Amino acid sequence: MTPKEVIKMAKENNAVMANFKFLDFPGIWQHFSVPVAELSEEMFEDGLGFDGSSIRGWQAIHTSDMLIIPDPTTAFIDPFIKEPTISLICNIVDPITKEYYSRDPRYIAQKAESYLKSTGIGDTVYMGPEAEFFIFDDIRYDQNSYSGYYFIDSKEGIWNSGKIENPNLGYKPRHKEGYFPVPPTDSLVDMRIEMVMEMQKCGIYVEREHHEVATAGQAEIDMRFDTLVRIADKLMLFKYIIKNVARKYNKTVTFMPKPLFGDNGSGMHTHQSIWKDGKPLFAGNGYAGLSELALYYIGGILKHSKALAAITNPTTNSYKRLTPGFEAPVNLAYSARNRSAAIRIPTYSPSPKAKRAEVRFPDPSCNAYLAFSAMLMAGLDGIENKIHPGEPLDKDIYELGPEELATVPTMPGSLEEALNYLEEDHEFLMKGNVFTADAIETWIDYKRTKEVDALRLRPHPYEFFLYYDI
């Protein structure tokens, strides 16, 4: 779509406002609007100014002026703003140098796609994320100098099986039994279908929707794969739609990886493959129908996975899910069909076009642009340096004995540990200037000071249970 076509689309839909969306550094959409009369073809070249110092992880106050540059190919009619509004996703530009901003996650993703083409290895990378989430009825939390708590509630939660609800009709999924009974046990199917319908109106191709394993409204809606930047754009729109549809039902959605103790957390298994000249490069005659190039790609992911964790699993809460011996794939191995491995080779279809690697450790708290870019860069490093992943592990990893399990490396056990690995291992991200030193240093510093240290300083409620009577 061209700028002229965007303006035509706005007129045809009687839009009165133009809304501009862009991403802060951690990965949350920001926005502002202008009357549609201000929308001009020149705006797609000259941009619009805003204060970058108020955006998390961005400019200092003395260099705060920034520009948004709308991308005309991302235009859609916003389904949640009362007055007709056309929305566009934007890149960020420095108003003085006119250069794209090194900490703009979308620009980093665009550079990753360009780097792939520059290597000659391939010209297209496809990503297919499966972002799980929870739909709750109530969430309360607070933290101050003398108290701290959270309280989650869901009409589906098995903990409400004895609650007086006038009447309580039962049909609440037991822990780890939400995958996937029919209604009335699955009480959220109508809401999920509305989410799917809104996604389709906005140009997202949805393949399926269903309840997920956990009690209390865990869900999954799967989009069809797409190229790196486009699927990251779609994932942001996906989250926006899901949260706003849930709000219409007076419910709330979280993509937090582990909101419930004692039940499954939310992951974001990410399918990926590289193509060139319209042909898939991951299909071959090797293990599980993989090409040598695909095995090298997997080798790169496994080699750099501990550093990748700081980007693909970027919250302290991520490591409540990534716990050895539980449901998340923390063991750094690859296998066909085996869902206990960090990387799985799906075998649903014999078609070469379907051959892909499914990286299973990421979670949906990540900044998709950064996570997809980082995984691509790790995979390309594996191809460029012919990093073979070794032998596959076609056993149930959870059933391995201590001696055999000791030979299988694992993901980091905390965000702090992951950040330390990223600090030591990030040269592969800087090839082609995809991730700059400034972006990596800012990411590490932000996560350490705003999240790791902030959590470390505060007493945890469970510590009172463990230690108060000492």
Give catalytic residues, as residue numbers. Answer: 51, 130, 132, 212, 220, 269, 339, 358, 360
CA atoms within 13 A on the CB side of 469: 2
Q: Check: CB of residue 269 under 8 Å from CB of residue 341.
A: no
Residue 53 and residue 103 in contact, taking contact as beta carbons nearer than 8 Å: no
Beta-bridge partners for 219: 133, 211
User: Residue 420 and residue 387: Cα distance in Å, rounded?
Assistant: 23
DSSP state of 432: G
Nearest Cα residue to 412 out of 304, 290, 340, 253? 304
Structural tokens at position 218: 């865990």
Whether residue 267 contacts residue 340, with contact meaning beta carbons closer than 8 Å, is answered with: no
User: Which are the contacts of 278, defined by CB distance < 8 A and separation ≥ 6?
Assistant: none
- The one-letter amino acid code at 247 reads R
DSSP designation for 72: G
Helix (H, G, I), strand (E, B) or coil at 149: strand
Is residue 310 within 8 Å of residue 422, measured between CB atoms?
Answer: yes
**C-beta neighbour count of 421 within 10 angstroms:** 18
Is the peptide bond between 180 and the residue preceding it cis, with omega within 30 degrees of 0? yes
Alpha carbon 248 to chain centroid, angstroms: 24
Residue corresponding to tokens 């260099």: 63
Q: What DSSP element (H or E) covers 201?
A: helix 189-201
Provide the sign of the torsion angle of the four alpha carbons 423, 425, 428, 429, taken in this order: negative
3-state SS track over 443-456 = HHHHHHHHHHHHHH
Nearest residue to 389 via CA among 399, 378, 400:
378
Which positions ≥6 away from 97 have C-beta within 8 Å?
Answer: none
Tokens of 157: 């939660």
CA 102 – CA 111 distance, rounded (Å): 10
